[in-house]
Each structure stands twice: as C-alpha cells, then as structure tokens.
Structure 1
Amino acid sequence: MSNTLCQSLRSPIRSLAKLRQAKTISTSIVHNETILVKNNEEFINKVMNNNKAVIVNFHAEWCEPCKILTPKLKELIEPLNNLDLAVVDVEDNADLVHTFEVKAVPAVIAIKNGLIVDKFIGLVDADMITSLIDRMSGKNNAGA
C-alpha cells in the first residue's frame, strides 16, 4: 500500500490521468490523493513548487484534535481538483516544524505560489475551515 502511495505521489498528474481512465464512473469528478510529506525535499517539491494551492496540515498521531481535523480536511479537499492537502507528521519532520514555527498541533498553513497566505492553529470552527478551503480553491474570489 505505501509503495503504491509513494509511486502515485511521485507523478500526481500521471496518476490522476490513470485514475480517470481506470474508473468506469463519471470522469468529471477528480479525487486528489493526500500528500504525505516524509522530508524537506518532498515538501519543497510537492508543496512549495506545486502549481495548485496547498493546505498543509501539521499533525501528530497522539493529538486528539488532529484525529478530528485531519479526516475532515481530507473529506473536504480530496474531491477538489485545484487544491491539494499535504499532511506533515510533526514527530517525523522537526526541520519543517522549526521552519514554520509550529508551536502546537494541529496547525494548518495555506500555501499558494510558494507563499503562506493564511493559517490557523487548533481545532477551529467548521465555518472557518470551509471558508479557508473555499478561498484557496477559488470558490470564493475574495482573499487568496
């Protein structure tokens, strides 16, 4: 499973094309895979250099609010074709935690064109989450 996931993350455009061809259901719905960030290089390549906006979710397995937020972010973002979700485990990525000054989890950072455009820390109101996703995906032209 993890080998397949890594393969699909290496070439997300080709993977989406194959996924569309393999499915017999409607091809108008594209489900993005979540980027599971393993190291700094992967973060730079798949998040900072991404041509789409990316919601970065810094989380930890031991974090109870993360266990609520992470699945909700996946549910809301995966159906969108113009927004990606990257998940960063704080235990495995100390350099990224330091670089982005993550002091508590969950911490969510919105990145567009390699720049941080929004962020929040902790389990926030559902309207705040959907508003961020709408702005980042272009559903709402205000803001990002």
Structure 2
Amino acid sequence: MAILDATESDFDEVIQSEKTVLVDFWAVWCPPCKRLSPILKELDEELEDFNVAKVNVDEHPELASRFGVMSMPTLIVFQDGQPVKKAVGFRHKEALTELIAR
C-alpha cells in the first residue's frame, strides 16, 4: 500500500484502520526526516500487516499539537485509533520494525 499523506480532515479515518498504523510527523526542513523517508517506504513495501501515514507538521500544526509532537521526526504507532507507542528522532529500519512489532 502507498504511504498516506494524512490531513486534519482524514486523520481519524486513517488511524481507525484494522491494521496497525505508523504515523510519521515530519517537516520539509528536517534532515533526519529526509533520511527516514526511504526507510519508511521500504517498510511499507515489505510488511503487509501495517500502514504508514505521514503528517507534515508545518501544514497540519493542529495534529502535531494534538499528539504532543515537539521534535521531528516523531513516530507514533496507532492500534484501533489509539496511540500505543511513540519514538522521537531518526530510527534505523531494524529499530522501526521492532517498534511496530512490540
């Protein structure tokens, strides 16, 4: 499945998936976010039991505020629409796989 660009209007629908959803809160000006992007794309293509969504914090500051996002990138794992795990900063592929699996 393709990585979703979530907005205020569809965010709640995106996280209400039957699958686990990993949401990447990112910004265009953030170098670690740029390094993380291809890793998320790889994971999205390799693993079928979860979805990846991205939220541009400059375009959607209300969502960043709603989930207490202060630093980029911030990754939040949602299950049944609820945040269950949070990681701040760049993560390698193995660490992301572990974050999703736990």
- Specify if TM > 0.5: yes
Instruction: Using CA pairs under 8 Å that are at least 6 residues apart, name the structure with larger relative contact order, 1 or 2.
Output: 2
Q: Output one character per residue of 1:29-58: Cα deviation in whole Å (capped at 9) or x when no partner.
A: xxx111111x222101112x1111100000
Deviation at 1:100, TM superposition (A): 0.4
1:98 is aligned to 2:49: no
Rg larger in 1 or in 2?
1
Output the CA distance in 1 between the equivalents of 2:33 and 2:81. 24
How high is the TM-score relative to the length of structure 1?
0.66
* Structure 2 gap segments, 5+ residues each: none
The answer to whether residue 50 in structure 2 is matched with residue 83 in structure 1 is yes
Q: How does 1:64-79 map to 2 (within 5 A)?
A: 64-79=31-46
2:58 alignment partner AA: E
Between the aligned partners of 1:127 and 1:75, the Cα distance in structure 2 is 12
Please tell me the residue identity of whatever aligns with 2:2. Answer: E
Instruction: Note the C-alpha offset of 1:123.
Output: 1.2
Gaps of 5+ in 1: 1-31, 136-142
1:126 Cα offset (Å): 4.1
Please give the secondary structure, in 2, of the residue aligned with 1:40. coil
SS in 1 for 2:64: helix
2:33 counterpart of 1:33:
no
Aligned partner letter, 1:42: D
- Quote the RMSD (CA, aligned, Å): 1.3
1:1-144 to structure 2, matched below 5 A, reads 32-37=1-6, 39-47=7-15, 49-133=16-100, 135=101, 143=102
Q: Report what 1:4 is aligned to.
A: none
Runs of 4+ in 1 over 4 A off after TM superposition: none
TM-score, normalising length: structure 2: 0.91
More strand by share: 2
Overall identity of the aligned pairs, in %: 33
